[in-house]
Amino acid sequence: MSNRDRTAELMALEPDEATQLYRSGRFTRRDMAKFFAAIGLTSALGPTLARSGVSAADDLTMIIWEGYSDEKYSLPFEEANDAKVDATFAGTGDEMFAAMQGSGGSTYDMVSASSDLPRRLYDADLLMEIDPAKLTNYNDLYPQFQKPPYITFEDKLYGVNFAWGPTIMLYDPEQITTAPTSWKAMLDEANTGKIATWNYPLQIAQYALLLDPKPENPFELTDEQLAQVKDLLIQQRPLVRKYWDLGGEVAELFMAKEIAIADGWPYITQQIMAESGSIAEVSPEEGVTGWSDSWCISKNAANPELALKWADWMIGPEGQAGIMEVMNYSITNKKVIETLDEARRAALRMTNVEEDYARIHMWQFIPAYDKWVQVWQEATAS
Amino acid sequence: MAAIAAKDEQAAPSGRKGGPLPLLALPLGWMLVFYLIPLALLLVHAFWSVDYLTIDRTFTLENIKAVFTVAPYPAVLIRTLLMAAAVTLTDIAIAFPISWWLAKKVTSHRELLLMLVVFPLWSSYLVRAFAWKTILGTNGILNSFLQTTGITSEPISAFLYSKTGMYITFCHVWLPFMILPLYTILDRLPDTLLEASGDLGGNGWKTFLRVILPLSLPGLLAGSVSVFSLTMGDYITPSLIGGSPGTELIGGIVADQFGVANNWPLGAALILPILAIVIGLLLVANRFGALGRDER
């Protein structure tokens, strides 16, 4: 039924009839919003409706990593579903968690959670279980992305894994002429005042890769190892130009020649190249940390059906192509990956997905995370 | 602002039957429900603790203790106070001559000039902070100017992402809050007093110290409280213009506790010293009539 017919039908109703239908469940909240819009109450009730999660259009609200709502793939989705994607960028997973918990999960329908986050969201009772049968593209995913441990709790699925990638080292070849090979370059006095590093306690894991002996799992650190990383960070402090918060900021810092080296994502490289800036990527010899991102749906989402459609869209051919093109990230849909030529697969770090994936220390849930936050703040904010 | 309030008080016939209570009920109720109660709810968190994802509501003083003992909080608190004090003093030094000139020397287009003072407030605070980024950057306007005029040969990177940059930005964005109350009070300062001081042999400096300064104290304090507390609580400028080691202010730490670390109790405890200082300042300012009491 087209939108207009439905609205016409709604307009024929009396307000109390509508309320009754709503209570009986035959009338969705979206219908309610349309109904109020139709009888001209939107302006009066607008704020109340917005707060209770009902909006006039089919709004899909999300809190995400920068770029995950790029028009390249959000516009076709909006057109196909007569919906509107309303995204907020977060600089860290912690920010996503705080935003989700602060509103009891009612402000955002969904969140692009990296591999460390779903556990916390699940423990806080903020996630909605996902039925894979409702996802048309689900069976095209590599088996390892269908039901990975970071989005599976008590054998139930709570996320749709759609992208992954490493946090690498970026540098400006115009300023640093010999390619650095180690994370040590981020602690090198030769780069004083030219270093930017991500302002995120989780980055402790990246610097833990420099410890000797190297911890087997950089996300499971002893207190002693944490203290050693803290020393590294304190040693790094006087060299740092900027602790960055958003990816766009790093691109801007490189473009303005404020910095010469930073940790960052392939998306940042992509942004700088799009502006013909000078940038190069290095995958340091100590190894890299990285993320595996999933769409998780809030338990109190106003639009759970639409959220599910978005998740499905993003693991489908169009969404996955967009992630590769816009974000420069690796993807999870086997069928789509198999259509790519060798060079493209190599460029996107997906020559052999299982092996390439295993090589990255993927972010994981950290039980004593407040300790990490404390160490990070003490080392960077003092 | 103080003077305006005082004027109104004089103009309104006092002792009218019924009083202002019915009129005040709505704003007072609003303040209570939407400001004071939430604030109190927030502040009690300071005496609770966080247990992974939930708040443990057992009374504890650990957070308060942490504010004064655990790094980096004490250092950041002191840095914030020093920054706020420096910005306030600088704004006084800049605003006084401007306000004096506006109140006493300008003969035409005074409204237009006042408008220019207020004008920056029409744009978003973010826009102004961003504008300073383009001015202070390594290849920014200031460095280009210094290099083309030959004052420096190399770009100075210490303007942006530094305390210097934050200080400059703060001084600029909060300046109108100092100029306006000062102007109001200086505008009302009778010229006859200045003439009397001169007649009695007071030179310019003495007149300033013994007549102008004491009489402009309410405006000075009103402006200072605004500028000081605005600087104390800000976290936008530290993130845009600061963000390098040693530039974090307490506002940013508080924002992080709520928005990132999800540790509301510690965040609430960190607010307490800020609140205490601002309330203390308000009491001092009130003592000197900066909040509208007319003692003449």
Distance of CA A234 to the CA centre of its chain: 29
Cβ neighbourhood burial of B152 (10 Å; 0-12, 13-18, 19+) = exposed
pLDDT band at B288 (very low <50, low <70, confident <90, very high): confident
pLDDT at A271: 93
Interface test with A, best of B256, B263, B270 (most A CBs within 10 A): B256
In tens, the pLDDT along B17-70 reads: 556 778 888 899 999 999 999 999 999 999 999 888 888 999 999 999 999 999
Compute the mean pLDDT over every residue in chain B, rounded to the nearest whole number: 87
Alpha-carbon distance of A234 to A237, in angstroms, equals 5
Spell out the alpha helix ranges (H) of chain A.
3-11, 15-24, 29-38, 42-51, 71-81, 93-102, 118-123, 143-146, 204-208, 223-236, 247-255, 266-274, 304-315, 317-322, 334-338, 342-347, 353-359, 369-381
Q: Which domains does chain A have, with CATH numbers?
A: 3-51 (no CATH), 58-164+292-362 (3.40.190.10), 166-290+367-381 (3.40.190.10)
Residue B228 is part of a domain; what is its CATH number?
1.10.3720.10
Examine residue B136 and state whether it is found in any structural domain, yes or no: yes
| A138, HSE (Cβ side, Cα atoms, 13 Å) | 17
pLDDT at A8: 53
In DSSP terms, A160 is beta-bridged to: A295
pLDDT at A370: 83
Q: Coil, helix or strand for B77?
A: helix
pLDDT exceeds cutoff 70 at B9: no
Examine residue B34 and state whether it is found in any structural domain, yes or no: no
Examine residue B18 and state whether it is found in any structural domain, yes or no: no
State the nearest Cα–Cα gap between A76 and chain B, in angstroms: 32
Examine residue B41 and state whether it is found in any structural domain, yes or no: no
Domain containing B249: what range?
A: 65-287
Among candidates A120, A370, A377 on the partner chain, residue whose Cβ is nearest the Cβ of B72: A377
User: What single letter denotes the amino acid at residue A350?
Assistant: M
Alpha-carbon distance of A138 to B214, in angstroms, equals 76
pLDDT at B256: 86
In tens, the pLDDT along B129-183 reads: 889 999 999 888 999 999 999 998 888 888 999 999 999 999 999 999 999 999 9
What DSSP string describes B237-275?
HHHHT--STT---HHHHHHHHHHTS--HHHHHHHHHHHH
pLDDT at B251: 92
Q: Which residue of A has its CA nearest to B256?
A: A95
Examine residue B30 and state whether it is found in any structural domain, yes or no: no
Examine residue B40 and state whether it is found in any structural domain, yes or no: no
Number of domains in chain B: 1
pLDDT at A55: 46
- Is this complex's ipTM strictly greater than 0.85? no
pLDDT along chain A (382 residues), means of 10: 47 55 52 48 36 58 94 94 93 92 90 96 96 97 96 97 97 96 97 95 96 94 96 95 91 94 95 94 96 96 94 96 95 96 95 95 92 90 80
Interface test with B, best of A241, A244, A249, A366 (most B CBs within 10 A): A241
Cβ distance of B72 and A382 shorter than 8 Å: yes
- pTM here is 0.81
Q: Is residue B277 within a helix (H) or strand (E), and if so which, with residue range?
A: helix B264-287
Cβ neighbourhood burial of A260 (10 Å; 0-12, 13-18, 19+) = buried
pLDDT at B3: 44
B50 phi, psi to nearest 5 deg = -110, 135
Contact A130, A160 (CB under 8 A): yes
Alpha-carbon distance of B126 to B137, in angstroms, equals 16
A273 phi, psi to nearest 5 deg = -65, -35
Query: Which of A162, A170, A173 shows the shortest CA–CA distance to A186?
Result: A170
Kindly list the residues from chain A whose CB atom is less than 8 angstroms away from the CB atom of residue B239. Answer: 245
Across B102-106, B223-227, B244-248, least confident range: B244-248
In tens, the pLDDT along A162-216 reads: 999 999 999 999 999 999 999 999 999 999 999 999 999 999 999 999 999 999 9
